[in-house]
Amino acid sequence: MIVDKKSGKIICTHFAKGAVHDFQLFKCSQLKLPTPILLLADSGYQGIKKLIPQAHTPKKASKHYPLTRQDQQQNRALSSQRIKIENVFGFLKRFKIFATKYRNRRKRFGLRFNLFAAIANYDTI
């Protein structure tokens, strides 16, 4: 799902059958983004900078390489920019289509999800 940071509106959605990682789904969607766009992604999209140079993801710490103070500040600044996007995800989770296992017909999942996205876009007006 791609969300506009300024308006909080959902621009694009893409789905896959079964459990697919977010970054894998992004690569399979073959979405063409304009070059002057700033892309703010979460830590699940590590490696997206190879595909889109203007993308920003938080740095991850490991057991042997903890984050420096500067890295922590950069991660905090990035998360404060992403908060409006995360609020849209939280709004969609109220409908339970996003938060729990979908138990209806797979054929209609895209239609129903896009309807909820339209409701979310209408709510942000």
Is there a contact between 38 and 46 (Cβ–Cβ < 8 Å)?
Answer: no
Q: Which residue reads 């969300």 in tokens?
A: 3
Q: Which residue reads 């789905």 in tokens?
A: 15
pTM: 0.76
Please tell me the predicted confidence (pLDDT) of residue 71: 94
Average pLDDT for the chain: 85
Distance (Å) of CA 54 to CA 49, 70, 87: 7, 20, 23
- State which residues form the domain around 80: 2-123
Kindly state the average pLDDT of the residues 92-121: 81
Please tell me the predicted confidence (pLDDT) of residue 75: 93
Question: Total domain count for the chain?
Answer: 1
Give the separation between CA 72 and CA 61, rounded to whole angstroms: 10
Please tell me the predicted confidence (pLDDT) of residue 20: 81
Give the model's confidence band at 89: pLDDT under 50 very low, under 70 low, under 90 confident, else very high: confident
